[in-house]
Structure 1
């Protein structure tokens, strides 16, 4: 996507990846890490790979995306678009709280604007696009524009709490990991979510704010902007 945007005259993307997790043998097949990356931070392994491949200068953070000791998000958390894929409901609510705080205090060019959250179970998942606060929209006679898309924690908060799983024990093997998440659910969500993000850059608008996906029976259901 970065290379394609540059080819179209866009400045390209600056990416910062937050993850304090370590690559284990359980990650080698399903998450496409190499054996030589075992023991590295996932964020470092992925960012180094991307930088070597395309000559970018993207950044890896080996800590969690969380508030500092004062209860505020540090300054260098600020960006225009946030993508999250976390394991627990509590983590989603924590991210929502941080983004709300950042929106309230920000007055710079990189004011937080969008949050795209990815979530999945063994065979199904969803991607939900939200705005961080209200985003002023152009006047349009052709489209009914929407200034605010609710957070996933606002629109589906009750469902998230009901579906919360308390077992967050790491998988010890690839076979055990596949019992929790099937082989292609992560990559399928990533590709479809990237397509939604691409349409925002390429077309400057979207009629959909996400989708639900079920790989077991190959069904996808778009979520229209209402």
Structure 2
């Protein structure tokens, strides 16, 4: 007898809503953290905005949240000059981006935590990008985003959270959803409406990453013993490519990646059709 052929499972994908692909207004983005990775991500977002507008898209509107100021130890590894020492990082970066690209993006010199819930319009954005150093900061962001997802409606209702994290020579970028994103029917793919939160799916990874030394560095030389010179920019560029794919192709087969700069390896994180908590 002829054996029955097994059905090949359809690839799991996440399909982006039209609201992001063909918006009437610029897509709102909250970037949390203006340090080594955040500064590089902001530059990538500015380039992306310029390219999207040239392609007929409404572009992006970005707010940068960071209450930290520029210190001499930040120079060289982060995108600051000696003239900016003492300024808030978010202000220094946004001023430069606005002058260079002609944007009107905003700097917020405060932490992104529950105090922001007093101004939900400012706290809420379609896409939230976190480039923070501590696990607690991620849990604070998670609390705010979960609250906004349930209690804030309107054009800037929170949908996606992209988290950047790194150690000395490695890092990861993970895209999550704050709610179910309605997916169209497909004969070719298995559309996935929920992408797990980084704080849930990778709780152990976050815990172990917190065991390192998080004390501020007093010099660039000391800072380079904790983070390699190019880990932030490498992570930012590959992560920005994922976001660019979201806008340009509207379909994601991967929702993030692990990067090992020492071995020059990148491992994608596939979209998976699993039930999430």
Whether TM-score is above 0.5 comes out as yes
Deviation at 1:163, TM superposition (A): 3.0
Unaligned runs of 5+ in 1: none
Provide the residue aligned with 1:172 in structure 2.
218
Match of residue 68, structure 1, among 115, 132, 135:
115
Provide the residue aligned with 1:38 in structure 2.
85
1:14 partner SS: strand
Tell me if the contact between 1:88 and 1:165 (Cα under 8 Å) persists in the aligned partners. Answer: no
Alignment partners' CA distance in 1, 2:126 and 2:90: 20
2:165 partner SS: strand
Root-mean-square deviation (CA), in Å?
Answer: 1.2
Tell me if the contact between 1:73 and 1:102 (Cα under 8 Å) persists in the aligned partners. Answer: no
Provide the residue aligned with 1:5 in structure 2.
52
Q: Within 5 Å, which residues of 2 pair with 1:146-157?
A: 146-157=192-203
Q: Which has the higher contact order (CA 8 A, sep 6+)?
A: 2
- Work out whether 1:111 is the aligned partner of 2:150: no
Provide the residue aligned with 1:58 in structure 2.
105
TM-score, normalised with respect to structure 1:
0.96
What do the CA deviations read for 1:115-167 (whole angstroms, capped 9, x no partner)? 00000000000000001111111111122110000110010112212332364
What do the CA deviations read for 1:60-84 (whole angstroms, capped 9, x no partner)? 0001001128xx4631111100000
Tell me if the contact between 2:114 and 2:143 (Cα under 8 Å) persists in the aligned partners. Answer: no
CA change 1:73–1:66 in 2 (3 A) is farther
Alignment partners' CA distance in 2, 1:97 and 1:73: 14
Provide the residue aligned with 1:198 in structure 2.
244
Tell me if the contact between 1:66 and 1:73 (Cα under 8 Å) persists in the aligned partners. Answer: no
Deviation at 1:25, TM superposition (A): 1.1
Q: Within 5 Å, which residues of 2 pair with 1:69-218?
A: 72=117, 74-75=119-120, 76-165=122-211, 167-218=213-264
What do the CA deviations read for 1:78-119 (whole angstroms, capped 9, x no partner)? 110000011111111111111100000122121101000000
- Report which stretch shifted further, 58-67 or 30-39: 30-39
- Report which stretch shifted further, 120-129 or 86-95: 86-95
- Report which stretch shifted further, 111-120 or 155-164: 155-164
1:68 partner SS: helix
- Work out whether 1:14 is the aligned partner of 2:61: yes
Tell me if the contact between 2:167 and 2:209 (Cα under 8 Å) persists in the aligned partners. Answer: no
2:186 partner SS: coil
Deviation at 1:36, TM superposition (A): 1.1
Tell me if the contact between 1:103 and 1:112 (Cα under 8 Å) persists in the aligned partners. Answer: yes
Alignment partners' CA distance in 2, 1:225 and 1:73: 35
CA change 1:80–1:73 in 2 (3 A) is farther
Q: Look at both structures and tell me which one has the larger radius of gyration over its CA atoms.
A: 2
2:60 partner SS: coil
Alignment partners' CA distance in 2, 1:41 and 1:162: 30
Unaligned runs of 5+ in 2: 1-47, 273-277
